[in-house]
């Protein structure tokens, strides 16, 4: 979180915080952070994967 206060466009920190949110079952916050990470770095495969996992945990499926 400290890094994000200094530089909110740091995808790795967003993924880390999103993962922490996911472990705490704060899935909407996790999805928000993963989405921001993807916006800053569309090639961040880990963010895409974890956002999909969080959405699946919420029952959000896209056909």
Q: What is the pLDDT of residues 38-53, one digit of tens each?
A: 999 999 999 999 999 9
Query: What beta strand segments (E) does 9-62 contain?
Result: none
User: How much of the chain is helix, strand and coil, in % rounded to 5?
Assistant: 70, 0, 30
Sorted by where each starts, the structural domains of the chain and their CATH numbers stand as 2-57 (1.25.40.10)
Indicate the SS3 state at residue 26. Answer: coil
- The two three-digit tokens of residue 19, written as one number: 């993962």
Res. 62 pLDDT band, cuts 50 70 90 = low
């Amino acid at each position: 979180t400290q890094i994000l206060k200094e530089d909110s466009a740091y995808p790795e920190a967003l993924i880390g915080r999103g993962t922490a949110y996911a472990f705490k079952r704060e899935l909407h916050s996790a999805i928000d952070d993963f989405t921001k990470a993807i916006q800053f770095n569309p090639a961040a495969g880990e963010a895409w994967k974890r956002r999909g996992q969080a959405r699946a945990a919420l029952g959000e499926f896209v056909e």
